[in-house]
Chains A and B, each alone.
Chain A
Amino acid sequence: MSISLTPALALQGVSKLYANGTLANDNVSMEIAAGEIHAVIGENGAGKSTLMKLLYGLEQPSSGRILLHGRACVLRDPRQAIAAGIGLVPQHLQLVPSLTVAQNVVLGCEPTRGLGQLLHGRAAVQAVSTAAQRFGFQLDPHAVVGDLSVGARQRVEILKTLYRGARIVMLDEPSAVLSEQEASALFASLRRMAEQGLTVLLITHKIREIRSACDRFTVLRGGCVAGGGNAQDFSDAAIGAMIVGRTLSAASAATPARRPPGQNAGALVGAHGLTAKRADGRVVLSGVSFEIGAGEILGVAGVEGNGQDVLAHVLCGLRAPSQGHADIDGAVFTSRGVRRARAGGVAAIPEDRLHDGVAPAMSIIDNAMAVQYHQAPLSRRGWLDPAAMQGFARGIMARCRVAAAAPEALIGTLSGGNMQKIVLGREIASAPRFLIASQPTRGVDIGAAQALHEQLRALRDTGAAILLISADLDELLALSDRIMVMSQGEIVAHFPARQVDPGVLGGYMTGALHAAGAAALLASPFTASHAQAHHEEQA
């Protein structure tokens, strides 16, 4: 690692005070050398996103300086940032699905000077394949982006920044949507970029990535720099302590107390051959069968977009399956609409919290009562009871320890973690027998995630069945009793959560491995945990 004397990027005493009084960055100073992979890590709300916005010209620092290659610079908008050689790979990829890789990469600065489309296209393809080769990206410039995996799309986004001349590439939580294999491929590519003198700034909240992929790191906590250094000099635990400013409670570190197997003999929830098609006839969910016992958590692992969202929609009643059904204690609840499903004891935490989980511009009260508003005591004969509504919201806020001024506060003003606590509290308040939890701790800080996990465990201990859909393998392994893996709308593997290796899960998630006809019924056999054993079994 060659570290030149002038850092590629330096921040000197940068502060950002938002007009609402939030001090998101407080006197942040850091230096990032050319040719290094530097991680900025911290909990949600620690100021990572703000820092990124400052560097990309989306926000202006209230005080302090940003130095690029030793020269102070002012980035008024992203265009200036790009011109200064800073590129951003956003967490939610922003590509045109109907265009090819090459077209997406050059979009907005196409290589053309009033010449015909043909030349324009060819030059673009050439530029893209050159760049792809240089950094070891496996990408077909002619492929249509809509057909690519998330990992490949991310590579397209990276190429996009490089094509625009970025020398400093910022990636916002790049591994959030990737499987283990895809993530390691990404980090290999990043390493290659760094070796060629590019600077990579990785914004993440995964400790594991620091030590496996980064040279140095900076920890943000409460808007301030809480530590940093060479990645190899610190243990995971030491970095974790810097991030939270306290040692994690024993609950998350130790293996959670699981219900002893066999205690709950019968299945509470059963899904039988659930199949769903898109409007164009493509099958997106194919013959999914599983059972969950009372007091059991069934985890669903899988790379996003492999039918988990469809499964969640079918189970919560938003969408009717084209075949198959699901029942609680024998009472079928699919194909009957959301309200009937909920009346039957189903509850759901939607994946996209801000869109499907809350009404951000309404109060905590209005959000807390959204499921039960039509029942006593919240309303009687069509009339709402304001006192009962307020009490109900207060109850949820107290039970879930939500930090908010008052139940009248707009829920959109809360942090992601507090918002999610209310979402979960609301679903639990309806005393569900079956909870579908999709990405319950996505974008939530570690402290809130712990609290949410405790709530889920408590719900499980009351005898509810939980289907936990999560892209976070650590979360799945920590909470689930059994795990099923979904790929391309099918169940491709079924494991007891305690005996599965993340690497093996990753193999099934990416489709490298496949156990034909797998199901996650209580009586279903478990898939062998090792690829070899699996092959032997088949032979």
Chain B
Amino acid sequence: MSEPTAQALIAQQQRRQILQQRWRLPLAILASLAVGFAMTAMVSKEPLRAFLTLLTGALPRLQWSPEEGWRLLRMVRFGAVIEDAVTLTFLGLAVALPFRARQFSLGADGQMFLAALAAAAVSLYVPGPAVVVLPLVFVAACATGFAWGALPGVLKTRYQANEIVTTLMLNLIAIQFYRLLVSGCLRDPGAGFLVTPLLPDRLILPLLLDKTNVTVMLLLAPLVVGLAWLLLMRTTWGYEIRLVGQAPAFARQAGVPVERAVWLSMACGGFFAAFAGVHISNALLKRLPVDLTPGLGYEGLVVALLARNEPRAIPFAAFMYAYLRTGAQAMERTTDVSREVVLVIQALMILLVVSERLLPRLAEAWRSLVLLRRGAP
């Protein structure tokens, strides 16, 4: 066998790693869909139709009628996909940032609830033109999320309190506090149930798509993703966060302020969760009900896992997740397959995506076979 230089070998290895990275996601998705189909086939009388519904149910349908010409149907459904994807993008970022510093913060839920509360409160009580108040809404929400995210960070760096425990506990506190205010001083006495008054129209984010709640938040999301990427990759704070996450002992040895990186990463997580809060209060619901369902934050965790904590991949992971969820609802409604099948597919997908070695192993075996055969005399 000829002797390739060390440089060529390293370059080759890098190319292969990048290739594997690139193929991992599509392969993981395909594999989990295949298993999902097998499962559908077992439980359904018409698996093909059920599975097609799952895959295409979330898409709008183009219809032509002689009276009205071309029309897009089912926009509500597709709108739901985009709305969910936007929320999940923010929540994915909220989880991914602390993860990059190796902090398993699960506080996105609480941060989002409090940020939504802050956004609603400012919207309801601060008078003035939208140009002034709307930025204020964002500032209030982000500051709240940042502070609520920083809290477990400080608890960790000061008192070595495990962040998994503190963030979960703080979630409970935040959600109960939210319920207290919504059923108390923020309550709309005229409504028949526990809910805040409708937020003023001028503070509801402008719509982009008719018949949906898709607002300018859709355009803001890529900007926020870009912001997260810039923060991580182009600032010294982001570098500190990455270094602490990758090699904490080394970071300490190099003189990196490890404590600051830890709490800052968690606070930034709260900052991004706040956008999800604003999206819920000032775009999707336009008022806050007392029974806003907790648990969305954990879906953000799933999205972050699927995107392997890479900010730029998070919107795609969020979209895929939302797409499958809406497709699953359609499948449940129109076929004999329940949505649990989709939960299994999702779980499989996550398992396959996070199994770093799974695909490389297969590729490795194949490569050595090929190389050996070629190299054999």
Contact = CB atoms under 8 A, between A and B. Distances in A.
Interface of A: 17-23, 26, 62-63, 222, 316-318, 337-339, 341-342, 348, 350, 355-362, 366, 369-371, 373-374, 379, 382-384, 386, 403-406, 408-410, 413-415
Contacts of A17: 368, 371-372, 375
Contacts of A409: 10-11, 14
A317 B255 CA distance: 9
A356 B243 contact: no
B52 interface: no
30 contacts: A17-B371, A19-B365, A19-B367, A19-B368, A20-B9, A20-B16, A21-B9, A21-B367, A26-B1, A63-B372, A222-B3, A318-B252, A338-B253, A339-B257, A350-B250, A355-B247, A358-B247, A358-B250, A359-B246, A361-B247, A370-B251, A371-B254, A374-B236, A379-B236, A382-B237, A384-B233, A384-B236, A384-B238, A405-B11, A410-B17
A462 to B, nearest CB: 22
B239 interface: yes
B191 interface: no
A316 B253 contact: yes
B14 A413 contact: yes
Contacts of B239: 366, 369, 373, 384
Please indicate which of the listed interface residues A19, A338, A348, A386 has the most CB atoms of chain B within 10 Å of its own CB. A19
Contacts of B236: 373-374, 379, 382-384
Contacts of B4: 21
A339 B261 CA distance: 14
A348 B249 CA distance: 14
Contacts of A410: 14, 17
A366 B255 contact: no
A386 B250 contact: no
Contacts of A348: 253
Interface string B238-271: 1100110011011111111100000000000000
B268 to A, nearest CB: 14
A498 B236 CA distance: 46
Given A17-B372, A384-B236, A356 B14 contact: no
Interface residues on B, range: 35 or more
A220 B125 CA distance: 79
Interface in B1-53: 1, 3-4, 6-14, 16-17
Nearest to A355: B249
Contacts of A373: 236, 239
B11 to A, nearest CB: 4
A414 B3 CA distance: 17
A370 B254 contact: yes
Given A317-B255, A355-B249, A358-B247, A19 B363 contact: yes
A404 B13 CA distance: 12
Nearest to B244: A359
Contact of A23 (B1, B11, B250, B254): B1
Contacts of B6: 403, 415
A442 to B, nearest CB: 16
B364 interface: yes
Given A17-B372, A19-B365, A362-B242, A355 B255 contact: no
Nearest to A418: B6
A318 B364 CA distance: 41
Contacts of B17: 410
Contacts of B334: none
